[in-house]
């Protein structure tokens, strides 16, 4: 019988992740696991669940998915408490980022935990917001999580281990010398590592042909998510998320390449005549529509992709774009602060 991929992974595959999570949960603490989309939170969840069951840590484990369940998480948890009189219940919540009013929900979940005679603990999976906006994942009047664990992009050693595990499980035989190139291209993001490895094996694509690599649907999907994250986060938060190095440059060389040609979908439809730099600048504004964007932020994005545009050069590009989009958008200069893009149909 074929085992699942997560069952083939050693307990040390994610470093001390299993030990940290299980130790806190056993002691009655709640744990939040945070990571950008593309890290493989589903694999991490399945990995932890599999080992919890194998080690018989909990009496019962419940998994709540807000995209699949009809009832809200508070009622779901209350029903568990009614139906199960045993101790040692674990509730795993997936995609917590899709739940509204998180502080209120956490407060109610904490109240349930405090008011029942038997033990219940929570393991919550969410996106990077728990790290860059911690208050969004805190209960109103209590400290809900005893541990917040952020799933950072892999190091080269971890990347190599992941590639070796996929070679063993899937049979994707590739030249070991490809590992370093895959690490540099991916920046250690597991989804990129997986699909780059797969394409090298199945399609024999060259890792040096970035223009072809970015056309692979799964890779394009991940790069687009990461590009929007880069556009919407400031430099310090991107460093915190492990997407940039000590010099403020993007770690993923493939993301650098992608960002240099990035354009929002709306530009392809409305403004196919714009040049590359005009498209990029306008895309950054579109991704932040109705939000103030400073020239410094635009310059930071350029620097992350190894390009150095002077503030004056960026200003000139904005001036040209402003005239070309006036039928659909207004790009207002907020003196001393930056620019604000607004849709003319709602202004």
Task: Write the pLDDT tens digit of every residue in 26-79.
Answer: 999 999 999 998 888 999 999 999 999 999 999 899 999 999 988 999 999 988
Q: Examine the domain organization and report whether 113 and 129 are in the same domain.
A: yes
Cα 192 from Cα 195, distance rounded (Å) = 5
Domain count for the chain, please give it.
Answer: 3
Distance (Å, whole) CA 339 – CA 333: 5
| CATH label of the domain that carries residue 49 | 3.40.50.300
How far is residue 79's CA from residue 73's CA, in Å, rounded to a whole number?
Answer: 10
Higher model confidence: residue 275 or residue 151?
Answer: 151
- Does 173 share its domain with 202? yes
244 part of a folded domain: no
User: Which uninterrupted H or E stretch holds 174?
Assistant: none
At 306-335, the pLDDT tens digits run 676 778 888 888 899 898 988 888 889 888
| Structural domain containing residue 267 | 263-346
Does 128 lie in the same domain as 54?
Answer: yes
Strand residue runs (E) in 85-243:
89-93, 120-126, 145-150
The verdict on 301 and 284 lying in the same domain is: yes
**Domain termination residue (choose one: 127, 150, 173):** 150
CATH number of 278's domain? 1.10.10.10
Q: Domain end: 91, 118, 150, which one? A: 150
Structure confidence at residue 347 (pLDDT): 44
Whole-angstrom distance, CA of residue 35 vs CA of residue 346:
35
Question: Do 28 and 134 fall within a single domain?
Answer: yes
DSSP, residue by residue, 278-323: HHHHHHHHHTTTTSEE-HHHHHHHHHHTT----HHHHHHHHHHHHH
Same domain for 219 and 114:
no
Q: Are residues 141 and 9 in the same domain?
A: yes
In the block, residue with structure tokens 């964007």? 293
pTM of the model: 0.88
As a whole number of angstroms, the distance between CA 140 and CA 135 comes to 9
Q: Which residue has the tokens 């035989």?
A: 173
Same-domain check for residues 270 and 298: yes
What are the backbone angles phi and psi of residue 13, rounded to the nearest 5°?
-55, -45
How much is the pLDDT for 219? 95
Examine the domain organization and report whether 308 and 219 are in the same domain: no
User: Is residue 187 domain-resident?
Assistant: yes
267 in the same domain as 212? no
The per-residue b/e assignment along 31-44, b for 16 or more CB within 10 angstroms, e otherwise, is bbbbbbbbbbbebb
Mark whether 90 and 167 lie in a shared domain.
no
- For the cut 50, the answer to whether the pLDDT of residue 148 exceeds it is yes
Specify if 30 maps to a domain.
yes
pLDDT higher at 308 or 296: 296
Inside any domain, residue 342: yes
pLDDT tens digits, one per residue of 94-116: 999 999 999 999 999 999 888 77
């Amino acid at each position: 019988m074929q085992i699942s991929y997560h069952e083939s992974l050693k307990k040390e595959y994610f470093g001390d992740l299993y030990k940290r999570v299980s130790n806190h949960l056993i002691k009655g603490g709640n744990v939040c696991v945070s990571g950008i989309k593309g890290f493989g939170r589903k694999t991490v969840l399945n990995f932890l669940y599999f080992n919890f069951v194998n080690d018989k840590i909990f009496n019962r484990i419940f998994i709540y998915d807000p995209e699949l369940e009809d009832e809200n998480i508070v009622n779901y948890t209350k029903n568990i408490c009614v139906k199960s009189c045993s101790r040692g219940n674990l509730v795993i919540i997936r995609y917590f980022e899709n739940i509204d009013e998180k502080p209120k929900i956490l407060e109610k979940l904490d109240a349930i935990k405090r008011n029942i005679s038997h033990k219940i603990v929570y393991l919550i999976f969410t996106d990077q917001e728990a790290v860059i906006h911690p208050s969004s994942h805190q209960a109103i009047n209590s400290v809900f999580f005893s541990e917040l664990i952020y799933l950072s992009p892999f190091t080269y050693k971890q990347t190599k281990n992941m590639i070796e595990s996929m070679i063993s499980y899937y049979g994707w035989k590739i030249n070991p010398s490809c590992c370093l190139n895959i690490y540099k291209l991916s920046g250690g993001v597991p989804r990129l590592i997986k699909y780059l490895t797969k394409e090298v094996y199945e399609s024999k694509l060259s890792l040096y042909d970035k223009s072809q690599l970015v056309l692979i649907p799964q890779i394009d999907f991940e790069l687009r998510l990461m590009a929007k994250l880069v556009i919407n986060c400031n430099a310090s938060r991107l460093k915190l998320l492990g997407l940039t190095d000590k010099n403020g440059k993007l770690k993923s060389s493939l993301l650098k390449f992608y960002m240099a040609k990035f354009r929002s979908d709306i530009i392809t439809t409305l403004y196919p005549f714009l040049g590359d730099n005009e498209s990029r600048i306008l895309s950054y504004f579109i991704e932040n529509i109705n939000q103030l964007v400073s020239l410094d932020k635009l310059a930071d994005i350029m620097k992350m992709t190894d390009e150095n545009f002077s503030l004056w050069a960026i200003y000139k590009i904005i001036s040209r774009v402003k005239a070309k989009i006036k039928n659909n958008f207004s790009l207002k200069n907020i003196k001393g602060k930056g620019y604000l893009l607004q849709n003319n149909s709602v202004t």
